[in-house]
Each structure stands twice: as structure tokens, then as C-alpha cells.
Amino acid sequence: MKTIIAACSQNLSGSRASIQTALRTLLAVPWPSQRDIGSALQLLAVLQWVLSFLLLGIVSLLLLIYLLFTSLWLIPVLYLAWIIFDWDTPEKGGRRLSCLRRWTVWKHFRDYFPVKLVKTHDLSPSHNYIIGSHPHGILCVGAFCNFITGSTGFEELFPGIRSSLTTLAGNFRLPLFREYLMSGGERCLPCPAPAPSEGNTGGMVLPGRGRAGMLIRLRSAPSPRLRAFLVPSFSFGENDLFRQVVFEEGSWMRSIQRRFQKMIGFAPCLFYGRGLTSCRSRGFLPYARPITTVVGEPLAVPKVENPSRELVDRYHELYIRALLKLFNENKTKYGMSESDELHIL
């Protein structure tokens, strides 16, 4: 009996020692610092944005198609009816949600790169503006962060101005993804002769085509089809976020890109960035590179119902000059050399 008790005592002592050793080992492991936690939150914020941008629409479409052949078929039918009923909403300004635009996640998204907005001139709330955002980049991070989220202080820098990001109409044909875009204030490009509505402000110049450029449409009041000032902006560092696979002219991949561009309005491209676990591996996340978006001086444009080709070319040239001036005055301040040049294609 004494032998059994002694054996049990030794086992308990050994177990207690093992537990104490495990606790000491656990306490010896360094806990994540506040900086490590911040970096993880930034990475997760960018990850959810990239996945939403690349997969939300496609996955939602496939899911609805699958549900159509199950007992839950009524869900995709009702949603299709809703899209038909809500078809014109993207052209009228969408359904912006202030709470989503000021989501704390976007501050972590901003700090990952980081992204900064620089003001050079005032924008009067009594006017309408169209800001050309250059360059477009792969996923237009600078335009999204500065003009859709409230993380860089756009409303504080330009009080009284409400911003909306303008993108291709095809993005609003994808289920759920369209709701995600509109809740942030995104809207689709208007047709050449849009009917008067609250969301249609004046505009004459489209800086770039498809992936080459995009528009940021701003309005200070619901004033349909009034004149709009043109404002150039440039996001320094935008082109450093991804590495793009460039196909040679005449190759079969290049021809496929051009065919897609004719059909859907932009040319699909192959690109890569950093991996999820290491910045040295390849993946689909953008590299952490500083982005500084500089908003330039407004260019006054007269309201002309039927402008001539000569008038359009004239103001297009003035806009290009303003953009080049903005680039040259700021390039050395934000990571570029004096010899770097901006080429307009």
C-alpha cells in the first residue's frame, strides 16, 4: 500500500513539475507587441479589400446560380427582380452609407501603405468638380482610399464637397458586389447623353480609357447637368504596388487582351504582388509602398450644350498641361527623381 501511495505521489509531483515547466515556457514566449498587432490588422484590412474586389461578385454570382437549382430558388429570383427594379440606381449616385465610409478598417488599410492626401488649392462648395485620378494602377488604391473612405480626411480638407468614385457599368452587374460599391459612393460611368437627374453633373473630358484612367466625380449640391471644373490629381507610388506581366505586341496574349478591351471596356492583365505570410513571396496582395495623392488646381470649363471638336481638344490640351505641371512640381517630393517623366498615351 505504501508503495502504491509513494508511486502516486511521485506521479503527482512529476505532473506538477511538467505543468510548471510548461507555464514557464509559455510565459517565456514573447507576446505580440502593439506594432505586431497593428501590422496584422493592416494586413487583414488589405486582404478583405482585395478579396472583395476580386472575388465577391464572381462568388456571389456562382452561388445564386447554384441556389437557382435547389429548394432555395426563390432567393436568386427575388434578387434578380430587385436588380431589375434597381437597375438605374448606380447612375444616380448609389446608396452611400457614411458608417461604411468611416469604417475603422479603412484606417488600417490606409496605414498599410500608407496613403496620404495632399491639397494644393481650395475647392469651393458652390461649384461642381470632376477630378481626374492618375495613374489608374491595377486596383486604383489611391483613388479608393482617398475619395471613397474617410480615412485620409477628404471631407476635412475640402469641406462641403461630397465625393463619388466613377467606374465601369459592368461592375454593377455583379450581385452583392454592386451593393458593396454603391454603399461607398461609387457610381457607373454615364452614357454619352445622360438624362437630367440628381446624379448627373457636367463634364467634358475623360482622362484616359479603361485601365488607363478613371474619373472621380464630385458634387457640392444636387445640381443636374451644370458646368463642372476639371481638377487633375496624381497618386505618386500607385504603380509600385504590383508587378505586371507585359505581353509583347503581336503575341497571342496581347491580341486576347485587345479583344477583351473591345468587348468589356478594359483590358484584363496578369499581375502579382506579395504573399500573405511574407513580403518576399509572390501573391495577390499589394506591396506596402507609400501612396501620396496630390489634388491640383481646378480648371474652369464653360457650360456648352453641343461643344465642337475644336473646343473639346482645346480643353483637353489645357487639362494635360495642368496634369504635367502638377506631376513635375511634386515628383521629387514623393519618391521620384528629377529625370522621371510623365508620358501621355
pLDDT category of residue 235 using cuts at 50, 70 and 90: very high
Q: Considering the domain boundaries, does residue 278 fall inside one?
A: no
Give how many domains the chain has, as a whole number: 1
> What residue has cell string 492626401?
117
CA distance linking residue 147 with residue 294, whole number of Å: 12
Q: Considering the domain boundaries, does residue 21 fall inside one?
A: no
**pLDDT surpassing 80 at residue 274:** yes
At 194 the pLDDT is 37
Q: Pull the grid cell for residue 163.
A: 465625393
CA angle 75, 184, 303 (to 5 degrees): 120
Long-range contacts of 85-91, Cβ-Cβ distance < 8 Å, separation of 24 or more: 89/182, 90/169, 90/172, 90/178, 90/181, 90/182, 90/186, 90/187, 90/188, 91/187, 91/188, 91/190, 91/191, 91/194, 91/197, 91/199, 91/200
At 20 the pLDDT is 67
pLDDT category of residue 131 using cuts at 50, 70 and 90: very high
pLDDT category of residue 104 using cuts at 50, 70 and 90: very high
Residue of 190 and 73 predicted with greater confidence: 73
pLDDT category of residue 206 using cuts at 50, 70 and 90: very low
CA distance linking residue 80 with residue 216, whole number of Å: 29
Q: Considering the domain boundaries, does residue 250 fall inside one?
A: no
Q: Considering the domain boundaries, does residue 255 fall inside one?
A: no
Domain carrying residue 53 = 35-191+210-242+286-333
Q: Considering the domain boundaries, does residue 66 fall inside one?
A: yes
Kindly state the average pLDDT of the residues 240-248: 84
- Percentage of residues in the chain with pLDDT exceeding 70? 78
At 41 the pLDDT is 93
Q: Considering the domain boundaries, does residue 4 fall inside one?
A: no
- Of 211, 213, 186, 215, the closest CA to residue 203 belongs to 215
Q: Considering the domain boundaries, does residue 161 fall inside one?
A: yes
Task: Point out the least confidently predicted range of 145-159, 208-222, 271-285.
Answer: 208-222
Q: What is the mean pLDDT of the chain?
A: 80
Q: Nearest 5°: phi and psi at 45?
A: -65, -45
Exposure string (b/e) for 98-123, b if CB count within 10 Å is 16 or more?
Answer: eebbebebbbbbbbbbbbbbbeeeeb
Length of the chain: 345
Q: Considering the domain boundaries, does residue 295 fall inside one?
A: yes
Q: Nearest 5°: phi and psi at 74?
A: -65, -30
CA distance linking residue 141 with residue 240, whole number of Å: 11
pTM: 0.78
Query: For residue 340, which amino acid is it?
Result: D
Residue of 7 and 112 predicted with greater confidence: 112
Kindly state the average pLDDT of the residues 4-29: 58
Sign of CA pseudo-dihedral 210, 204, 143, 97: negative
pLDDT category of residue 237 using cuts at 50, 70 and 90: very high
> What residue has cell string 496584422?
40
Output the 3-class SS for 288-315.
CCCEEEEECCCECCCCCCCCCHHHHHHH
